[in-house]
Structure 1
Amino acid sequence: MNEVRVNSWSQLQVELFVDSWSADIGRFRSRYAFRGLSNVDYRLDTTLIRLGGDFVSLERHLLRNFKKYARSNVVEQDSVWHWLAVAQHYGLPTRLLDWTYSPYVALHFATANLERFDTDGVIWAVNYLKAHQLLPQLLRDKLEEEGANVFTVEMLSETLASLAEFGTLEPNDYSLFFEPPSIDDRIINQFGFFSVMPKANCSLNDWLSRHPDFWRKIIIPANLKWEIRDKLDQANITERVLFPGLDGLSHWLRRHYSPKDEQPVIRLVGS
């Protein structure tokens, strides 16, 4: 089954690490990309899709102007893949979607919003090894050449010079996973990477529906969220760690000291 609804913390641990045993190396190494959402009904839409309007034609304008106004030293190389990764990291609407190798980081994002504690959450798990079996030959060859399972921005830059070239590869029904450069501690601590599709208007939900053997959904009932949240905090999976800096510290403290049976109170400066 693609969907499982967990009923306890212990069952959740089992489901998060399904298929993680690798007989080839005799180790537990999950090949899933994880994404946590506070509402089970949320779609896997990119920030570019959520922008709305004529977002496909706006993509190049957004990226061009980001490059124009951003400091040149924010990227290691002047390639579209470096710029996309940096732009996504700093909040520009892009065709990238955030994932993590860590199921616990995904759990954090599924349980960090106290205003959604009356709503079932979800952890999406996508097998990137199986997903990459559908890549065009050029991209599969690059992975094989490097002996890698996931791309880096350097590997993509050496293979594809532009998003236009990326969109012309055949077959074009695929999703590619790649790791960003280690821009700062946030990316490192979140153990994050991205998925990207060959067309800006491609829907990952639609793509996954055509490939049901690639993914799983772990549904987190609302009544389990507080236990998960408290145990993640005890394990130090918090905003303080995942968003290093005073803003992350403040978000963690605000949530940590919010009453359980009341919505968090937002106090204005001077009140």
Structure 2
Amino acid sequence: MNDVRVRNWSELMQALYNIPKNALQRYRSDLVYRGVADASWGLENSLMRLGGDYANIEKPMLRSFRKYAEPGSIPAETLWVQLAVAQHHGLPTRLLDWTISPKVAVHFATAEEEYYDRDAAIWCINVVEARSLLPETLRQVLKRESAFLFSVEMLEFIRSLDDFDRLGENDAFVLFFEPPSLDARIVNQGAVMSAMPGVSLVLSEFLLNHPALYYRIIIPKEIKWEVRDKLDQDNVTERMLFPGLDGLSRWLKRYYGPGPYRRSRQ
């Protein structure tokens, strides 16, 4: 693993925001970020984590999602909109969630108190480098649109999962796209999603063969509460990232909870 282990909040911020100037002399990162509560976790998608005969239920499950969804709840018929909506609402899919915001990724790495006895990790992938591994057809789409990431509209020519999988018959790749702005949650989280051309492909295994694409920032368990409290101070909370009463309640439960105090006295 390409790991950077930080020791405190200052080192974490330095690791996250060590962003060089781009060609326009702006400090804009080429990375997308994914925070995980346990550094031992890989990048298996939720469909794979479902277990069982997951590879053969992908299509019928997505088909049933379309069939039984409320009229108008899926805003377009295209594959990529359907996948994004399904992922957003908790259906197991081959997609993975990412963000363009480093602190949002840190939120997801520190939001689950049941994992505070384990180191967390922020996966950082260079999207520009990942684009060089895309099939020529996809690279040309990005070039034509002068785009950093795909939009769902740019992927409309890929009409089925089989069409997508055929693009990876020669070499595996990872594709990053921006989901449609379905609600404030997607907008506030700076959401990005990734997909690979094969239901059984694991992104973390792919990255081991392409070490130049990524690194991980390891957040030791000993500083998780400090990081969490400072994120709350910065207003990077469930109240903002999950607008509505559910997110508000989750934030208040942690904010007014005992934190590490009760645990230290047990």
Does structure 2 retain, via aligned residues, the 8 Å contact 1:240–1:248? yes
Provide the C-alpha distance between the structure 1 equivalents of 2:111 and 2:260, rounded to a whole number of angstroms. 16
1:49 alignment counterpart: 48
Provide the C-alpha distance between the structure 2 equivalents of 1:87 and 1:81, rounded to a whole number of angstroms. 10
Alignment CA distance shift 1:246-1:263 (3 Å): farther
Instruction: Tell which deviates more after alignment, 72-81 or 140-149.
Output: 72-81
Does structure 1 retain, via aligned residues, the 8 Å contact 2:22–2:28? no
1:28 alignment counterpart: 27
2:82 alignment counterpart: 83
Provide the C-alpha distance between the structure 2 equivalents of 1:195 and 1:129, rounded to a whole number of angstroms. 14
Provide the C-alpha distance between the structure 2 equivalents of 1:262 and 1:231, rounded to a whole number of angstroms. 17
Provide the C-alpha distance between the structure 2 equivalents of 1:244 and 1:263, rounded to a whole number of angstroms. 29
Residue 264 (structure 2) pairs with residue 229 (structure 1): no
1:3 alignment counterpart: 3
Residue 159 (structure 2) pairs with residue 165 (structure 1): no
2:204 alignment counterpart: 205
Provide the C-alpha distance between the structure 2 equivalents of 1:172 and 1:58, rounded to a whole number of angstroms. 24
Instruction: Tell which deviates more after alignment, 109-118 or 233-242.
Output: 109-118
1:12 alignment counterpart: 12
Q: Deviations over 1:204-234 (max 9, x none)?
A: 0110000001001000001111111111000
Provide the C-alpha distance between the structure 2 equivalents of 1:189 and 1:63, rounded to a whole number of angstroms. 26
User: Any idea what SS the aligned residue of 1:36 has?
Assistant: strand
Segments of structure 1 that go 5 or more residues without pairing to the other structure are 265-271
Residue 174 (structure 2) pairs with residue 155 (structure 1): no
Provide the C-alpha distance between the structure 1 equivalents of 2:114 and 2:202, rounded to a whole number of angstroms. 27
Segments of structure 2 that go 5 or more residues without pairing to the other structure are none
Residue 256 (structure 2) pairs with residue 260 (structure 1): no
Does structure 2 retain, via aligned residues, the 8 Å contact 1:153–1:181? yes
Aligned residues: 262
AA aligned opposite 1:224: I
Matches within 5 A, 1:53-72: 53-72=52-71
Provide the C-alpha distance between the structure 1 equivalents of 2:59 and 2:160, rounded to a whole number of angstroms. 11
Report deviation, 1:261.
3.1
User: Any idea what SS the aligned residue of 1:66 has?
Assistant: helix
Per the normalisation by structure 1, the TM-score is: 0.94
2:95 alignment counterpart: 96
AA aligned opposite 2:190: F
Percent identity of equivalent pairs: 49
Does structure 2 retain, via aligned residues, the 8 Å contact 1:2–1:216? yes
Does structure 1 retain, via aligned residues, the 8 Å contact 2:32–2:99? yes
1:74 alignment counterpart: 73
Matches within 5 A, 1:113-152: 113-152=112-151
1:215 alignment counterpart: 214
Report deviation, 1:72.
3.3
Q: Deviations over 1:72-99 (max 9, x none)?
A: 3123321111100000000000000000
Per the normalisation by structure 2, the TM-score is: 0.95
Provide the C-alpha distance between the structure 1 equivalents of 2:216 and 2:262, rounded to a whole number of angstroms. 28
Does structure 2 retain, via aligned residues, the 8 Å contact 1:166–1:198? yes
Provide the C-alpha distance between the structure 1 equivalents of 2:90 and 2:25, rounded to a whole number of angstroms. 39
AA aligned opposite 1:36: G
Provide the C-alpha distance between the structure 1 equivalents of 2:149 and 2:188, rounded to a whole number of angstroms. 18
Provide the C-alpha distance between the structure 1 equivalents of 2:158 and 2:171, rounded to a whole number of angstroms. 14
Does structure 1 retain, via aligned residues, the 8 Å contact 2:225–2:260? no
User: Any idea what SS the aligned residue of 1:223 has?
Assistant: helix
User: Any idea what SS the aligned residue of 1:195 has?
Assistant: strand
Matches within 5 A, 1:171-186: 171-186=170-185
Does structure 1 retain, via aligned residues, the 8 Å contact 2:35–2:109? yes
